[in-house]
Amino acid sequence: MNILNMQNNAMTKPLNQNKMEKVIRENKVAVLYSPGFGSGWYTWNSDSEELIFNPTLVEMVEQGRREEITEELCKELLGKADYVCTLGARDLSIAWIPVGTKFTIQEYDGSESIMTVEDLELTA
């Protein structure tokens, strides 16, 4: 993979052929999710996986600028005109997940949580 950008000891790399980018620090990927009740972030926009990795959105969350994350901004970042639900932006948090870790984002009543294979407790 080619390194596209390097800032604050973070690499931004393309994820796949769709040129999705992600922020990587200390071999961990920044993943955006919304743990607050009411509206999900990824679970309410599951057709836009880029929203959980987008470097601009990660930076805005780190800087406490969640209120600036609007539908218009997200459409511009995604390069699409479809509806993007940004109700969960006010509660966005960043989970740092090791590169290559498979995970899922679950939602209950709008509150999202991240689960990895390592979180599974039961074995048949």
pLDDT digit string (tens) for 32-64?
999 999 999 999 999 999 999 999 999 999 999
Beta strand 28-33 with 21-25 is antiparallel
| Predicted model pTM | 0.82
What's the Cα-to-Cα distance from 119 to each of 21, 43, 56, 89, 113, rounded to whole Å?
26, 19, 29, 25, 12
Q: Which residue from 111, 117, 108, 105 is spatially nearest to 46, judged by alpha carbons?
A: 105
* Number of Cβ within a 10 Å radius of residue 66: 17
